[in-house]
Amino acid sequence: MDFIQKLFEKKNKNVLSIYFTAGFPNLNDTQKILHSLQNRGADLVEVGMPYSDPLADGPVIQNSSMKALKNGMTIKKLFEQLSEIKDEIKIPLILMGYLNPVLQYGLNRFCAHAKNAGISGIILPDLPVPAYENEYQKAFTENELDFIFLITPETSEERIRKIDSLSNGFIYAVSSSSITGKNADLKAQENYFKRINSLKLKNKILIGFGIRNHQSFEQACEHAAGAIIGTAYINAIEQAENIDEATKIFLNSILKG
């Protein structure tokens, strides 16, 4: 069952995707955070697999990754946590991380365990398109995992169309050629978003990087099916005494202003 496609069939605008780093703030917070995000209005969740060298991430997510690793988070531990609640989480879950830890775990093993843990899709920003197409695609498709690529304002039309032909789930449109956590100047990128929409792609578009409040979420949703928020949510829960309450307040601020 393709949970991401089912989501877009039910809701094709104002889709809210939230990113958090597994094992942060504490090792065993993953399940609590997922339940809270589901109950408080997130449509989709990206679960970050912590990595020691997250090149695309800004300091907040890098710091959360370091803390999660110090807490003892591993891919194996994450799959155990997810498997325990897979029947309780009804919104689509995506694993986001980097290629090296996945290859160390074993690609086929990773994909099989992801499927068994209730994962719908995978984002690996440093997996090149040709390598995916020629070497790795089979492992993902055999395990019914949507693979989601990132595009930037510099991505050519030819490459975007190639990505669209290979992608399932959605395409992650990075708001600028920067790291996560930078304030997004969405007005300055209107031509970029219009260019994407003019291509009439088969996949939905979600905009990420720098989306942090109601205003930027609404602006992103004017040009796409929805938006992805990571850094601002991690900031919201880092020192929270009650993660569910902090999640409720944060998601209300995004959805209702």
d(CA 76, CA 50): 12
Taking only the tens place, the pLDDT of each residue in 4-14 is 999 999 999 99
Q: What is the DSSP string of 126-141?
A: TS-HHHIIIIIHHHHH
Would you say residue 1 has pLDDT above 60? no
* CATH at residue 28: 3.20.20.70
Domain residues for the domain of 214 are 3-256
Q: Which residue of the set 43, 57, 146, 164 is catalytic?
A: 57
* Paired tokens of 92: 């689509």
Would you say residue 182 has pLDDT above 70? no
H-state helical runs in 91-226: 99-105, 107-116, 129-131, 137-142, 157-166, 190-198, 214-221
d(CA 223, CA 14): 10
Residues 6+ apart with CB under 8 A from 126: 55, 56, 98, 99, 100
Number of separate domains in the chain? 1
Per the annotation, the verdict on 46 as an active-site residue is yes
Q: Residue 237 belongs to what H/E stretch?
A: helix 231-238
Per the annotation, the verdict on 80 as an active-site residue is no
Would you say residue 180 has pLDDT above 60? no
Q: Which residue of the set 46, 53, 87, 126 is catalytic?
A: 46
pTM of the model: 0.94
CB 7 within 8 A of CB 15: yes
Give the pLDDT score at 26: 97
Greater model confidence, 210 or 89 = 89
Model confidence at 175, pLDDT cuts 50, 70, 90, reads confident
CA angle 76, 49, 93 (to 5 degrees): 90
Give the pLDDT score at 179: 46
Please give the order of strands across the beta sheet that includes 15-21: 146-147, 121-123, 93-96, 44-48, 15-21, 226-229, 204-208, 170-174, 150-151
Model confidence at 181, pLDDT cuts 50, 70, 90, reads very low
Give the pLDDT score at 168: 87
Which of 127, 125, 226 is closest to 170 using CA atoms? Answer: 226
Would you say residue 56 has pLDDT above 80? no
